[in-house]
Amino acid sequence: MRIITWNIRGLGSASKIEAVSRVVRMNGADVCLIQETKMDSMSVELVRKIWGDDCFDFKYVAAVERSEGLLMIWDKGSFLAEVDLCERRIIAVAGKWVAEEKAVTLVNVYAPNSLAEQKMLWEEIYGLRNQFCKAWIIGGDFNAMRNRSECINCSSTEKGSKEFDEFIKRCNLVDLPLIGKKFTWFGPNSKCSRLDRFLV
């Protein structure tokens, strides 16, 4: 099972579409989770350009005033979707992973920056755990850090980190470690942090 997650910060240009398509092809992805498409609609033609063939299905959430926006694409031969939920900050698709004949729920997340809104999202995701099958794979941009070691020269709140850490534990999820680098976001003035991750 090969899953890619990428906060693309705008999918509207040909160069961004080609960049995602290249990563999908190079890694032989079965699933692609994209955050911040900044697009208010998503055509089959555009998704086909990303995926490279017709053996795909997808779900998307439109951007709000040219910000946000989610897209999930998967190989129909690898994953058979059965039920889905698409909301402003999440796409959840439950189905069967064909190779292992196992029920699994795939979730694409783009969390807000506001701590209050984050807490609401964590509660929403926790509630969904009772509605969908228990084998979960959640990927995306959580805009949150579990502890101070996950950031350099960035502002982080102890409360936000604690709530995020408690959410992960409460859902009985495992935070997969990064391989090759420690951070996923890099900003000006040598700022860096780990905002993107997979929870399983």
Q: Which residues contact 52 (CB under 8 A, 6 or more apart)?
A: 21, 24, 25
- Per-residue model confidence as pLDDT tens digits over 37-78: 999 999 999 999 999 999 999 999 999 977 899 999 999 999
What's the token pair of residue 72?
Answer: 């999930």
Sheet of 151-152: strand order equals 151-152, 192-193, 185-186
- Kind plus residue range of the DSSP H or E element containing 55: none
- Model confidence pLDDT, tens digit, residues 155-195: 667 788 899 999 999 999 999 987 767 777 677 777 777 78
Structural domain containing residue 151: 3-199
Query: Is 27 among the annotated ligand-binding positions?
Result: no
Q: If pLDDT is split at 50, 70 and 90, which confidence band does 199 have?
A: very high
Q: How far apart are CA 121 and CA 168, in angstroms?
A: 12
Please choose, from the candidates 83, 75, 82, the residue with its C-alpha nearest in 3D space to the C-alpha of residue 4: 75
| pLDDT at position 2 over 70 | yes
Is 143 annotated in a binding site? The answer is yes
Tokens matching residue 136: 């979960």
From CA 62, how far away is CA 124, in angstroms rounded? 19
CATH number at residue 56: 3.60.10.10
Sign of CA pseudo-dihedral 135, 75, 185, 114: negative
How many domains does the chain fold into?
1
Q: Is 75 annotated among the ligand-binding residues? A: no
Q: Is 36 annotated as a binding residue?
A: yes
Q: Which long-range contacts (CB under 8 A, 24 or more apart) does 86-95 make?
A: 86/59, 86/60, 86/61, 87/61, 87/124, 88/61, 88/64, 89/121, 89/124, 90/121, 90/124, 90/125, 91/59, 91/60, 91/61, 92/128, 92/132, 93/59, 94/132, 94/133
